[in-house]
Structure 1
């Protein structure tokens, strides 16, 4: 399965990564690469937990470009 993730840096330089289509699925890493590896594990675990609780595995998300 493919998922879109968002990747940002916090004020301490840590990479924060989130999978918007899976509510609450967030991870982090000291490097961009570490964060990307960590979110893969987080996605697997989140999907397992959601399945165990009978929740929808994902929610619909849409990316829209906005100019300011």
Structure 2
């Protein structure tokens, strides 16, 4: 399964990163790197929870980062 992090700057200066393939998996940060790191952690936690509860089977995971934020 491939996950893509999308990152953009909000009008208030905060950065928002979202994992497109996991609805609701988004995180704010004071920098693009911080927001993306938090979103990646969240995506891994979601997958871990799904695996622990037998909702998905083990899969290969790839996370793609934007070239520049």
TM > 0.5 = yes
- Residue of structure 2 in register with 1:35 after alignment: 35
Which has the higher Rg, Structure 1 or Structure 2? 1
* Residue 46 (structure 1) shift: 1.7
| Alignment root-mean-square deviation, CA | 2.5
Question: In the TM superposition, what are the counterparts of 1:7-18 in structure 2 within 5 Å?
Answer: 7-18=7-18
- Tell me the CA shift for residue 55 of structure 1: 6.4
Normalising by structure 1, we get a TM-score of 0.65
Q: 1:25 and 1:55 mapped to 2: Cα distance?
A: 17
Match of 1:3, SS state, is strand
Aligned residue number for residue 66 of structure 1: none
Query: What's the secondary structure of 1:4's corresponding residue?
Result: strand
How many residue pairs end up in the alignment? Answer: 57
Secondary structure of the 1:5 match is: strand
Q: What stretches of structure 1 move > 6 A for 4+ residues in a row?
A: none
Choose between structure 1 and 2 for higher RCO, CA contacts under 8 A separated by at least 6 residues. Answer: 2
CA deviations 1:3-46 (Å, max 9, x no partner) are 21111111111000101111211111001111121112111112
